[in-house]
Amino acid sequence: MPELAIKGNAENILDSILATEKELDQVNAQAINATATKYQRLSIKATANAVKVQQKVIRGRSKFKGRQRANRRKQKAEVVALTLDIPAIRLGKPTRKGSGLNVGTGKARRFIDGGFVAPVDKGGKLVYKRTGKARYPIEHQTIVIDDEMVSHYRGILNRETPAIFQQEWRKRMNKVIRRAARG
């Protein structure tokens, strides 16, 4: 556990803290959840910058496993990332330009030479591109994110997560100590 600086009457504070193991479990669970949320946010931001798409496109692909977070009894939170390719239509409204399509806005803009929009079942649309001179075959246009996403998630997990957890645990433990000192 992280080191902690205690101010005030140390014996009274420690007695009240040691008497409440339930609170310590709650502090650990809160710190784990806060760390997982921050880890998720940092990973999404790094992946979006690397792939040059908006964060909102990637945000839906990262979530807590089964929507379960850590609690007093289960001191574990799992973040799951879906690494499937992003359909080009998700970048934004496609517009015709010359012999192709512009998809997306700002830094997420991509030009697909020979691309076209085609309707699919249930009222959706996708961006396609012909792979030959004939009418068929056509290829669905996507943005590949799997390698970037995995590398950023692992990098942030190894580099920054221990420091984040220590900071979050200390912040929550200080609240418990202040409450014990007052009471």
pLDDT per residue as tens digits for the range 105-158: 888 899 999 999 999 988 889 999 999 888 889 999 999 999 999 999 999 999
pLDDT band at 1 (very low <50, low <70, confident <90, very high): very low
176 with 27: CB under 8 angstroms? yes
pLDDT of residue 15: 61
d(CA 68, CA 79): 9
Number of other residues whose CB lies within 10 A of the CB of residue 78: 12
Number of other residues whose CB lies within 10 A of the CB of residue 19: 10
- Which residues share a beta bridge with 46? none
Question: Torsions phi, psi of 63, nearest 5?
Answer: -155, 170
With a threshold of 0.75, does the pTM exceed it? Answer: yes
99 with 59: CB under 8 angstroms? no
Encoded tokens for 94: 């496609």
